[in-house]
């Protein structure tokens, strides 16, 4: 398993976060321009915010793909390691694994490695409760 503090992974997530922050700033400025009656500037700033959001999403996708691949290269069949993923990413990967197992007629179980939340803010597990809720649905 690759640790979430890996320099490459951390760099990608930080870059994505920076683009997200820029997007937020552009959207705030867009609202201010709109409220002051400058619709053209509001539109321009909004488009800049959307561009930053696309960059953020693209880099987050790259980070997700990288850590998922690294963590699952040597995983035994039927096991997926969700360490390092954001909750939505972990849910998407779990749903995809279940759908793939159903399509292929796989019998047995799928093992999901979710971690303890050690690397999460406040050291509170976020993936496990989300996956438990998903399984209950």
Both 100 and 80 in a single domain? yes
Both 53 and 1 in a single domain? yes
Q: State pTM to two decimals.
A: 0.84
pLDDT band at 8 (very low <50, low <70, confident <90, very high): very high
pLDDT band at 2 (very low <50, low <70, confident <90, very high): low
Question: Residues 42-53: pLDDT tens digits?
Answer: 999 999 999 999
DSSP state, residue 115? -
Both 61 and 24 in a single domain? yes
Residue 32 has pLDDT above 70, yes or no: yes
DSSP state, residue 79? E
Show Cβ contacts of residue 104 under 8 Å, excluding neighbours closer than 6 positions: none
Question: Residues 79-136: pLDDT tens digits?
Answer: 999 998 999 999 999 999 999 888 888 777 899 999 776 666 676 788 989 999 998 8
pLDDT of residue 124: 73
Half-sphere exposure of 63 (CA within 13 A, CB side): 27
| Three-state DSSP class for residue 33 | helix
Q: How many domains does the chain have?
A: 2
Q: Last residue of some domain: 71, 105, 122?
A: 71
> Cα-flanking dihedrals φ and ψ of residue 21, to 5°?
-65, -45
pLDDT of residue 45: 98
Both 46 and 18 in a single domain? yes
Residue 92 belongs to what domain range? 75-137
Name the residue among 124, 119, 137 with its Cα closest to residue 5. Answer: 119
């Amino acid at each position: 398993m690759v640790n979430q503090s890996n320099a490459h992974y951390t760099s990608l997530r930080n870059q994505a976060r920076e683009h997200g922050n820029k997007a937020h700033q552009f959207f705030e400025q867009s609202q201010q321009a709109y409220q002051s009656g400058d619709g053209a500037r509001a539109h321009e700033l909004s488009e800049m915010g959307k561009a930053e959001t696309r960059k953020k999403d693209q880099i987050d996708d790259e980070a997700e793909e990288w850590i998922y691949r690294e963590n699952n290269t040597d995983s035994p069949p039927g096991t997926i390691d969700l360490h390092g993923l954001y909750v939505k990413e972990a849910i998407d990967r779990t749903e995809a694994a279940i759908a793939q197992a159903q399509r292929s007629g796989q019998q047995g179980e799928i093992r999901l490695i979710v971690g303890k939340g050690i690397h999460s803010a406040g050291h509170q597990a976020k993936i496990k409760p989300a996956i438990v809720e998903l399984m209950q649905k």
